[in-house]
Amino acid sequence: MDRDGLIAGLADRPSLRLGIMGGVFDPIHIAHLVTAEEALLEFKLDQVVFMPAGDPPHKGRLTAPGDFRYLLVAAATASNPRFSVSRYEIDRSGASYTVDTLEHLAGVVAPGTELFFITGADAVLEIPTWKDPARLLELATFVAATRPGYDLSRLAGLLERLRLATVGLVPETRVKTLQVPALAISSSMIRERLAVGKPVRYLVPEPVAQLIEKSGLYAGERSQSGRPRGSG
């Protein structure tokens, strides 16, 4: 299902707190889901919409095409009625800029809806280099997911840079931190394990593991189960 239709269905529900989980999800894994669930609870969100990036300007070549990454996210989130997934960035042409996505969402949801953009703290640190950072902070509160022991002074430096780059905004009210124990897991680590035939069971949801196994997109000479392709 195209979850932009779901977002449109929220247009008659004012005063929602809507989370947007941004990322390439190449592939999606348990830490993404734990982060979304923690944000849902911590910030009292009504819904979290996962937004797989189409052509992200800050990323290099992606392993899996957009349609397959969307399929993985849909499979991973299907069991949670407060999670959904949008094809908006995948289906649009050109580079995927967060500010354009947030402008789109702000024009679709009901007046009074609050947007919370959820992503990793390292990505949040790059906001000053993103398209129109001042407008980004006007449109949404940014939730910077961190792992235990993360150096929060790095985010303090970001707030100072944003204070100089914006007018009339208080960055402290628009950038929040969220500690997530499961963030030791990363998509790059998942890809590295798959490339050498190591299992990713319990690191990704079971439906995601099955789809990856069948597709062979992330494997090198071996399948995800660790056996050479064609054996057994």
Predicted confidence (pLDDT) per residue in 116-160, tens digit: 999 999 989 999 889 998 899 999 999 999 987 888 888 888 888
- Give domain status of residue 205, yes or no: no
Residue 158 placed within a domain = yes
203 is a domain residue: no
In a domain, 74, yes or no: yes
Please check whether residue 210 lies inside any domain of the structure. no
pTM over 0.95: no
Model pLDDT, residue 45: 96
How would residue 17 be classed by pLDDT, with cut points 50, 70 and 90?
Answer: very high
CATH number at residue 134: 3.40.50.620
Indicate the length of the chain as a whole number: 232
- 218 within some domain: no
| Alpha carbons within 13 A on the beta-carbon side of 105 | 33
Q: Domain for residue 56, yes or no?
A: yes
Count CB neighbours of 211 within 10 A: 20
Distances (CA, A) of 175 to 36, 142, 214: 16, 5, 39
* Domain count along the chain: 1
Indicate whether 30 pLDDT > 90.
yes
Asked whether residue 195 is assigned to any structural domain, the reply reads no
How far apart are the C-alpha atoms of 22 and 52, rounded to whole Å? 6
Identify residue 157 by its one-letter amino acid code: G
Give the pLDDT band of residue 167 (cuts 50, 70, 90). low
Is residue 193 pLDDT above 70, yes or no?
yes
Identify the domain containing residue 47 by its residue range. 3-185
Inform me whether the pLDDT recorded for 104 exceeds 70: yes
